[in-house]
Amino acid sequence: MVADLKSLYRIQKSDIKPAAKALTEAFRNYPLLVYKYPDESQRNKAAYYFFLVIVGYGFRWGEVYATSPQMEGVAVWYSSEHFPMRFCKMLLSVPFSALLGFPASGAARMQSAANFVEARHLQVAPARHWFLDSIGVLPQYQGQGYAGTLIRAMLARTDKERLPVFLDTMDEIDVRRYEHLGFKVVEKAAVPKTNLNNWAMLKEAQ
């Protein structure tokens, strides 16, 4: 089992697009994406640009790790001082192709839900913390411990820093997995204008 972040692969600038593609595949059945984009081809296109923004932002203002250069699993982290995303910071970090493709792909359709989740994050986790923005494992590697490896490696550091870690999910199955890693649900909230719920979770430093 991976003990620390040195055992992981910290992505380089050239890895931003491959990491976004890996997250797109990992999240292809994520409840919010399925709800907003019933058509799979449209869903994949929107998700790719959505994650291109997230990975680019995380690369510039946080830390993005993969299990290896093959991107079996990818995790995007940044501290609460860089949350929420600010447009001026996005301009400095996100590939220009993502800025052009985001609205054209229809990714903006998720913005209202994203705004709601952002507001709840600020409400339930006001203190300084680390934020696990996104974590995903390619379908063919799921169930083999890659996600746990990515998370535990960072938790080893956040515990040393005495900082809590926040994440949220709209997939109830993931809630149990995160609880197994020490996270606790601090809020379950219905996402407006959808049939979805959002679970906000926090892990205190050990």
Q: Is the N-terminal amide bond of 164 cis, ω within 30° of 0?
A: no
Percent of the chain with pLDDT strictly greater than 90:
81
For the stretch 70-84, pLDDT in tens is: 999 999 999 999 999
Please say if the pLDDT value at position 1 is more than 50.
no
What number does CATH give the domain 5-110+122-161? 3.40.630.30
Please say if the pLDDT value at position 160 is more than 60.
yes
Please say if the pLDDT value at position 140 is more than 80.
yes
Length of the chain: 206
Residue 107: what pLDDT? 77
- The pTM of the full predicted model, rounded to 2 decimals, is 0.93
Token code pair at residue 28: 């292809």
> What residue ranges do the domains of the chain occupy?
5-110+122-161
Max CA-CA distance within the chain? 44
Euclidean distance between CA atoms 16 and 115, whole angstroms: 24
For the stretch 188-202, pLDDT in tens is: 999 999 999 999 999
Please say if the pLDDT value at position 2 is more than 50.
no
Euclidean distance between CA atoms 142 and 129, whole angstroms: 27
Rounded to the nearest 5 degrees, what angle is found at the Cα of 156, between the Cα atoms of 152 and 159? 125
- Mean pLDDT confidence for 90-101: 79
- Mean pLDDT confidence for 11-26: 97
Nearest one of 142, 144, 117 to 131, comparing CA atoms: 117
Q: Lowest mean pLDDT: which of 87-91, 120-124, 137-141?
A: 87-91
Q: Which residue has better confidence, 1 or 157?
A: 157
Nearest one of 201, 200, 147, 192 to 35, comparing CA atoms: 192
